[in-house]
Chain A
Amino acid sequence: MHRILSKERLGPEINRYVIEAPQISRRRKPGQFVIIRLCPEGERIPLTIADADPEEGTLTLVVQAVGKTTWQLADMEEGDEIIDVTGPLGRPTHIERYGTVLCVGGGIGVAPLYPITSALKDAGNEIVCIIGARSADLLIMEKEMESVSDHMLVTTDDGSYGMHGMVTDGIKRIVVEEGRKADFAVAIGPPVMMKFTCLLTGELEIPTMVSLNPIMIDGTGMCGGCRVSVGGKTKFACVDGPEFDGHQVDFDELMKRLSAYRTHEKEAMDRYSECRAETGGGGR
């Protein structure tokens, strides 16, 4: 059992949870993920670890409620317990001194980007951070990112905060207009954002690493559900990744595979919403 020690709202339907997981917190490195399960009939979902405190024995997860399980988690409160947390899974991020690194985060992807950025900063890199969201209220962890960045640019799709535009517009401004040289880039966010970021960094010839979050069951290489095409070869995101060379990833295939259970997800969500309505929220 893993107790939720704190729950903090970061935006609409976006919460930051600090949970008890002493063993995992000691072992975890930036870039790794956990698989959680909330109840006996629950599904297993992968979540990238946003931070950890080995001394306190805690993990930080930032989760946006989008489907049944993430909504159920959003309905849980401090003191509630998560029955299963498995990890840390996947390969840790390869950290080295590249020079100047673009750290590009979109939406909820900023959460897993934070520990990687922090590690890259510690390794002596100059960090140029570009984070974006659809609108101001969906922007998360701006302060945390600022604390580990040398330069920072915030974009919103609707112009409600920072630069009006997408993170790719931000990259263009910094690299093309301002002429800042970048030696490496890390991009984490919705697949479509990573796709267009990689198209751009490909043109700009900036090597780019992305972190993928496909559908998984076991997270240990057994089911093969998380397979992605990277450079024409099939890779398992859980054991070969989750990080890959963004210029080699077939994002269109990834997006299609992520949508495979859309009707099921809607059915489960509708059922859960009904149940929430009946119990007045928090319907577990």
Chain B
Amino acid sequence: MDSKERLAIPPHPMPEQDPAERVDNVREVPLGYTAETAIAEATRCLQCKTPFCVDGCPVNIDIPGFVQAVEDGDFKKGIRILKKDNLLPAICGRVCPQETQCQLECTVGKARKDQTKSVMIGKLERFLADWEREQGEFEVPRMPPSSGKKVAVIGAGPAGLTLAGDLVRMGHDVTVFEAFHKAGGVLVYGIPEFRLPKSIVQTEVDYLEKLGVEFRYNHVVGKTLTMEKLVEDYDAVFVGTGAGLPKFMRIPGQNLLGVFSANEYLTRANLMKAYEFPRSDTPIFRARKVMTVGGGNVAMDCARTALRLGAQDSLVVYRRSEKEMPARVEEIEHAREEGVQMHLLNNPVRILGDENDWVMGAEIVRMKLGEPDASGRRRPIPIEGSEYVLDVDAVIVAIGNSPNPLIPDTFPDLEVTRWGGIVTNEVTGQTSVRGIFAGGDIVLGAATVILAMSHGRRAAKAIHIYLKTGRWSDLEEAVAVEINQSQTSS
């Protein structure tokens, strides 16, 4: 088939659960490709000589390689290529913002002058990962001999899991310390079941265990054991403790009953399975009319979770316009299809309570956009006199988190930024303390799963070289040399 014919094939949408049906269950929304559809979608790839898609991927997956394998129907080979660069494809295939990464760079999309018509790289990635899981057999790669070096990983979220997988495959002895009773971090407490089934995360964690990674649950580093102890007992330490304290709005009424942080609402619903209450013990407030404040993926997750918990109305209030919303287009679309109402260019100024201090409404002011601010987005400005009252009985605040202060607080040697994030070398993830590395939201503030994974990947490379050579002050150069060598040899 020539390029012209390939270009003529339209993209294959992934079938989805009907919106009216899915708001009553927590099952996954996109249903997955069949083998035939996957092959047909893979056929759209032009196998570009210079694959820009790979540059768009934070972990530089060999995208043309695995897509070709799908086209050939050799799924086993496809998953092998995929897992070379990404140990957690079932997760990334679902939650990565492909439309702003690999698919944004895709030549097919560019040729069609519409990046929504790019090769559906993320959906193919998900297909391969699901295919492997359904086979029930995971190929365990040949493991190198043990290096005799021990690495402690703090936090079993996307950064920590990626790093653990990489380091264990380089022959190091890896122990992951997790504060919760389950591994996954934001993948299990934050991202809802209907977007990322918990069983998929568990399968990936089981796979890491099979490779030899040891998990210690209910271990809060800084409390249950100290950083000093880890530094003493391990050859290197990676801090991936993620975003910590939820931000609130500092408006009157924020402590009324029925006002939740997104973290609390989602943790109750996801990790603690409150949607099964009273079969599970953790309750959640089943509101009639829920207002979620914020415009990111987390806000969409909250608004959609509220519907599944029986809310008749679920509103998103966001202070800028749709163009500035940080949420993925797909998430906004899914939310709209399910009936979430978007109140854009609106901002709450006060939450109103009834005589028992339960939320009974919110006073909202309309906004307009002014000049761009430091973030490059146009600054929202309140329109005086435009206040009105929304009748709601629960408010979820999804405006972000600040980095978790537990480790910096108990280990003051670590240099932190004004915002409380750990200061690191961008290439290596090195912190101000020898032997300690960091990555993910504890460094970035609040970012994406794949960015956290890319931090984990980079830090793993650096830790590997550090353990091998003991170099610290010039570790960045050593990493650069190693990367160049591996590129010229391959």
Residues of A within 8 A of B (CB): 23-24, 27, 37, 41-44, 68-69, 83-89, 217-225, 227, 229, 234, 236, 239, 253, 256-257, 259-261, 264-265, 267-268, 271
Within 8 Å of chain A (Cβ to Cβ): is B180?
Answer: yes
- Does B225 lie within 8 Å of A222, measured CB to CB? no
- Does A87 lie within 8 Å of B357, measured CB to CB? no
Instruction: Mark interface residues in B243-269 (1 if CB within 8 Å of A CB, else 0).
Output: 011101000001101101101100110
Known contacts A234-B255, A257-B257; decide if A222 and B281 are in contact (CB<8 Å).
Answer: no
Within 8 Å of chain A (Cβ to Cβ): is B279?
Answer: yes
Across the A-B interface, give the 9 residue pairs with the lowest CB-CB distance, nearest first: A264-B283, A43-B281, A223-B264, A224-B261, A86-B218, A41-B280, A43-B282, A224-B246, A84-B181
Q: Cα distance A239–B409 when bound, in Å? A: 10
Q: Cα distance A221–B179 when bound, in Å? A: 12
Within 8 Å of chain A (Cβ to Cβ): is B339?
Answer: no
Q: Which of B313-337 contact A (CB under 8 A)?
A: none
Instruction: Mark interface residues in B34-59 (1 if CB within 8 Å of A CB, else 0).
Output: 00000000000000000000000000
Tell me which of A218, A236, A260, A267 contacts B267 (CB under 8 A).
A218
Tell me which of A23, A220, A224, A256 contacts B225 (CB under 8 A).
A23
Point out the residues of chain B lying under 8 angstroms from A86, CB to CB. Answer: 179, 181, 218-220, 224
- Does B181 lie within 8 Å of A37, measured CB to CB? yes
Point out the residues of chain A lying under 8 angstroms from B268, CB to CB. Answer: 217
Q: Cα distance A255–B151 when bound, in Å? A: 45
- Does A27 lie within 8 Å of B267, measured CB to CB? no
Point out the residues of chain A lying under 8 angstroms from B472, CB to CB. Answer: none
Point out the residues of chain B lying under 8 angstroms from A239, CB to CB. Answer: 245, 405-406
Count of residues in B whose CB is under 8 Å from the partner chain: 42
Known contacts A217-B264, A236-B245; decide if A83 and B181 are in contact (CB<8 Å).
Answer: yes
Q: Which of B220-251 contact A (CB under 8 A)?
A: 220, 223-226, 244-246, 248
- Does A229 lie within 8 Å of B255, measured CB to CB? yes
Least CB distance from B471 to A in Å reads 34
Q: Cα distance A225–B396 when bound, in Å? A: 12
Which of the candidate stretches B23-31, B164-172, B270-278, B457-465 sits at the interface with the other chain?
B270-278
- Does A220 lie within 8 Å of B220, measured CB to CB? yes
- Does B223 lie within 8 Å of A27, measured CB to CB? yes
- Does A224 lie within 8 Å of B248, measured CB to CB? yes
Q: Cα distance A239–B268 when bound, in Å? A: 19
Least CB distance from A273 to B in Å reads 12
Q: Cα distance A37–B285 when bound, in Å? A: 21
Point out the residues of chain B lying under 8 angstroms from A223, CB to CB. Answer: 246, 261, 263-264, 267
Q: Cα distance A127–B223 when bound, in Å? A: 29
Given contact pairs A86-B219, A224-B261, A229-B255, a sample of 15 additional A-B residue pairs in the complex whose CB atoms are under 8 Å apart? A23-B225, A41-B273, A85-B218, A86-B179, A88-B223, A89-B220, A218-B267, A219-B220, A224-B260, A225-B261, A239-B405, A253-B255, A268-B277, A268-B278, A268-B283
- Does A260 lie within 8 Å of B285, measured CB to CB? yes
- Does A224 lie within 8 Å of B263, measured CB to CB? yes
Q: What are 10 A-B contacts defined by CB distance under 8 Å?
A: A44-B272, A88-B223, A89-B220, A89-B223, A217-B267, A221-B404, A221-B405, A224-B245, A253-B357, A267-B283
Point out the residues of chain A lying under 8 angstroms from B226, CB to CB. Answer: 27
Least CB distance from A279 to B in Å reads 17
- Does A222 lie within 8 Å of B267, measured CB to CB? yes
**Which has the most chain A C-beta neighbours within 10 Å: B224, B226, B244?**
B224
